[in-house]
Structure 1
Amino acid sequence: MMSLAACGTGFILDFLFGDPVWLMHPVRLIGAWISFLEKRARKLCGDSDKKLLAAGVVLCVLVILPAFGIPWFLLYIAGYIHPILEFILESFWCYQLLAAKSLKQESRKVYTELKKGDLPGARKAVSMIVGRDTDRLDEAGVTKAAVETVAENASDGVTAPLLFMMIGGAPLGFFYKAVNTMDSMIGYKDEKYLYLGRLAAKLDDVLNYIPSRVSAVLMIISAYLLGMNGKNAGRIYRRDRMNHASPNSAQTEAVCAGALEIQLAGDAVYFGKLYKKKYIGDAIRPVEAEDIVRAGRLLYGTAVLSFLLFGAIKLLSLIT
């Protein structure tokens, strides 16, 4: 019951305040640890594919264990001192692990630059939230990149961590975030990360399989509730939900594209190399800057429905 209350408190704090930028985020610490381990692995393994594959396994273990174990231990100590201290600490961590408002705020920066007519500024703003190269994107490309990120992170940044926190509190939330961060840093299928990041990418696929699909269904419901094209969202979801190299990323992107009646995805450049990608959605109308705002509304609607659904299930499991 305390973990449920902590999740609820963290959810509300995230909606009200967003990420506390004045404080070092735990995920940044996890990212720094991953970078350190990657450098050590490459120094020890050289160019050996087998060694890099094995090092990837060791790296995953060395990241996941402290990401889960340290929060669990600190909560145990806090609970031993006083239950209220444990509740405050877990609530704050739940708050940090959710990213609804920060994602909306970062995407709004892109929107603001586009509305000012500052394309270079918009490219710079969107580069902060996407992994692709942005220096040659036109206005439509910048908008699509921002919308796709908001749509995908409705699951990665809200639904998935919320689900894991409802199951196992903040420690399991950190477990999820550790895997998700590894995937975002070393989970690429290019020459550099094909072996070192293989296990991290597979783990992320497994952990996000259910949350991404639950998030997609809830986003369709949100589209109806928000007066968007829910029928088209469901149609595009059924048709295009697998139009991505990842089995999970296109789930919510397809819903968003359908709800907004626009076409997303397509070819993109990463680290100077062009990657061919399938399109998601139909270009019923041209992409416009306002789609970033609409995607943010879908994000919030999906987040609220996720919390209500998972919270109800958690509460029922506690009282039965």
Structure 2
Amino acid sequence: MGWAIFILWAAYVLDLIIGDPRWLPHPVIGMGNGIKRLEKMIRKNVSHPAKLKQAGMLLPVIIVGGAFAITWVALRGLHMIHPWLATGAEVVLIATTIATKGLKDAGMEVYGHLNRGDLPSARQALGMIVGRDTIHLEEPEIVRGTVETVAENIVDAIVSPLFFALIGGAPLAMAYRAVNTLDSMVGYKNDKYINLGWASARLDDIANFIPARITAVLLVASSWIMRLDYKKSYRTIRHDARLHPSPNSGFPESAVAGALGIRLGGENVYHGVVSFRAYMGEFSRPMTKGDILSTVRLMLFASLLFLMLCMLVLWTMGGTLWS
């Protein structure tokens, strides 16, 4: 158990301390470039919608499979040189798949601007992490956008990569990050990507299915630790989680909404077009900037609880889950 849990904890702490410094080459950049090149090649040779849908399956096969294979081969090569070298590389690689610091910093930047009464800067900071139009938003809607984004990304940015690292080390964590990157680039239900990106979007839903539900449980437990309304958090998950258009995002969002006693969801504007998202939670009070702070704290507690859960799993299994 010792090495596996050491690697997971070390990766988590490394990300929490340094995040993703700009001077350090990030694997996601390479994945993004690979996705762009493969998409260009596919579109050059395929145009019929049905054929494009079939070709869309190549994206996850090549990109996700390639991310796993390259990472596995690299670690095996480093292990042949020296085991410590491979261990250090595995810590760093898993750390690149996690974004605890980045998510915390993004939420706290919006909070900081609101705390200073600087709405234009808060809108701009929110616009960096959401797809909706933010230029006309007032404080409650800025708070809502930030809380929703932080809550939703607890799964993608923390629990899911750690979940797959627990099962298969850095190779599987990197494969998950490739799945997530594919979804963020081509997993859209619009005219351009409805056919080419369907397989990538479906794979992302499948990959996050279990972690999203684990995250919801962790958030209920975290709300109990923080003396928030953990009972309402649980009830809101049961009543509202499946109302979300995503099969996974509703679980962390509804958990946070219930814990804080706020209502998420509602009208968003995307490029001037109004879109309605199902409500999560009940309206009991207007949202305030303090809800951002509480959401970030829930995120940190949930991530620490998941690492403790990983320790329990490894102890029960009597050792590491990967070789």
SS in 1 for 2:255: helix
Look up the match of 1:56.
56
TM-score, normalised to structure 2, is 0.94
Match of 1:239 in 2: 239
Q: Which moved more, 1:214-223 or 1:127-136?
A: 127-136
Whether contact under 8 Å (2:119, 2:139) holds in the other structure is yes
Q: Secondary structure at the match of 1:137?
A: coil
Report the AA paired with residue 275 of structure 2: Y
Distance across 2 between alignment mates of 1:141 and 1:29: 35
* 1:93-132 alignment runs, 5 A limit: 93-132=93-132
Structure 2 Cα separation of the partners of residues 265 and 244 of structure 1: 9
Structure 2 residue aligned with 1:214: 214
Label 1:70 to 1:272 Cα distance change in 2 as closer, same or farther (>3 A).
farther
Single out whichever of 253-262 and 136-145 deviates more from structure 2. Answer: 136-145
Q: CA deviation at 1:117?
A: 2.2
Q: 1:136 to 1:194 in 2, by over 3 A?
A: farther
Contact 2:94 2:174 in 1 (8 A): no
Residue of structure 2 in register with 1:91 after alignment? 91
User: Aligned residue for 2:274?
Assistant: 274
| Cross-structure match for 1:261 | 261
AA of the residue aligned to 1:208: N
One-letter amino acid of the counterpart of residue 263, structure 2: Q
What is the one-letter code of the residue matched to 1:43? K
The amino acid of 1:304's aligned partner reads L
Flag structure 1 segments of 5+ consecutive residues without an equivalent: none
CA distance in 2, matches of 1:142, 1:37: 37
Q: Report the secondary structure of 2:121's partner residue.
A: helix
Q: State how 1:33-72 maps to structure 2 within 5 Å.
A: 33-46=34-47, 48-72=48-72
Rounded to whole Å, the distance in 2 between the matches of 1:93 and 1:319 is 21
Rounded Cα–Cα distance in structure 2 between residues aligned with 1:303 and 1:147: 16
1:135 aligns with 2:150: no
Deviations 1:231-260 (A, max 9, x none): 111111111111211110100000001111
For 2:219 and 2:266, the matched residues in 1 are separated by: 22
Measure how far apart 1:37 and its partner are.
2.3
Deviation at 1:271, TM superposition (A): 4.0
Instruction: Tell me how far 1:319 sits from its aligned partner.
Output: 4.4
Compare 213-222 and 135-144 and name the one that shifted more: 135-144
* Equivalent pairs, count: 319
How many Å separate the matches in 1 of 2:272 and 2:71?
Answer: 39
CA distance in 2, matches of 1:211, 1:284: 29
Rounded to whole Å, the distance in 2 between the matches of 1:63 and 1:265 is 33
Q: SS state of the match for residue 162, structure 1?
A: helix
User: CA distance change for structure 1 residues 272 and 60 in 2, over 3 Å: closer, same or farther?
Assistant: farther
Q: Show structure 2 runs of 5+ residues with no match.
A: none
Look up the SS of the partner of 2:269 in the other structure.
Answer: strand
Q: Deviations over 1:190-216 (max 9, x none)?
A: 222211110111111111111000110
8 Å CA contact retained: 1:166, 1:311: no
Q: Answer whether contact 2:132 2:271 (CA < 8 A) is retained.
A: yes
| Paired residues of 1:159 and 1:306 also in contact (CA < 8 A) | yes
TM-score, normalised by the number of residues in structure 1: 0.95
Partner in structure 2 of residue 13 of structure 1: 14
Identity of aligned residues (%): 41
Over the aligned positions, Cα root-mean-square deviation in angstroms equals 1.6
Deviating more after overlay: 203-212 vs 183-192: 183-192
Contact 2:5 2:310 in 1 (8 A): no
Amino acid at match of 2:146: A
In structure 2, what is the Cα distance between the partners aligned to 1:178 and 1:270?
A: 26
1:92-137 Cα shifts (integer Å, max 9, x gaps): 1112211112100111111112222222211221122122232332
Greater alpha carbon shift after TM alignment, 158-167 vs 109-118: 109-118
